[in-house]
Amino acid sequence: MQNEEIIERMFNENQALHDLLLTQNEVSLASMVGDQFRKTLLLAIASQFEHRVTGAVRAYSVSASSGDDALTSFIKAKGITRQYHTYFNWDASNGNAFFGLFGSSFKAFMTKRLGESNDLQEGLVAFLTLGELRNQLVHNDYATFTLEKTPNEIYDLYRKAVVFVRDIGELFAEHAKSAAKVTA
């Protein structure tokens, strides 16, 4: 099952449970399910995105280093493992912190690409919004934190953000090809 299908299935199954509870006049239970589900959905999305983005960084490091085990092991140990949340300035509406980690050329490339694609730009903003919400949730007492977004709003952000997450690996590769042409 693909990553998007897992989140979609999770969303649909929990929406069906919520709707069933409402049809049974279990309004309090439906509210409780909705409150817990929005947190669970947010964490599932954030976890999936972390896995996919770090996977793209890992794949790019393997490709760029021609699979050099020493270099890819170093990058994994010092640049990937437990580093994901340092990649981004989560409360910003741009990815400059992340893009800058790969040098000024990649940052300029991404700025250009984002300017050319509203979907990619909206995806990045939605991705950062979800990351910031995740941080608020886990760092502000999960049990008592009030997540203001509905499950539908979180899922809508997910559908937008997935464009950025899905494309980041391809953008690394595209940048590498364009950089190789310049140096050739």
**Domain regions of the chain by residue span:** 3-183
pLDDT at 80: 92
147: left (phi over 0), alpha (psi -120 to 50) or beta: beta
Distance CA 67, CA 177 (A): 17
Q: Is the pLDDT of residue 182 over 80?
A: no
pTM of the entire structure? 0.92
Q: Is the pLDDT of residue 82 over 70?
A: yes
Distance CA 90, CA 81 (A): 18
pLDDT at 47: 96
Q: Give tens-digit pLDDT for 3-57.
A: 789 999 999 999 999 999 999 999 999 989 889 999 999 999 999 999 999 999 9
Q: Give tens-digit pLDDT for 106-116.
A: 999 999 999 99
The one-character DSSP state at 122 is: H
| All residues at 6 or more sequence positions from 140 whose CB lies less than 8 Å from its CB, including other chains | none
Q: Give tens-digit pLDDT for 168-180.
A: 999 999 998 887 6
Q: Please check whether residue 175 is in contact with residue 106, taking contact to mean a CB–CB distance below 8 angstroms.
A: yes
Q: Please check whether residue 77 is in contact with residue 39, taking contact to mean a CB–CB distance below 8 angstroms.
A: no
Residue 132's pLDDT band, with cuts at 50, 70 and 90, is: very high
Q: Is the pLDDT of residue 184 over 60?
A: no
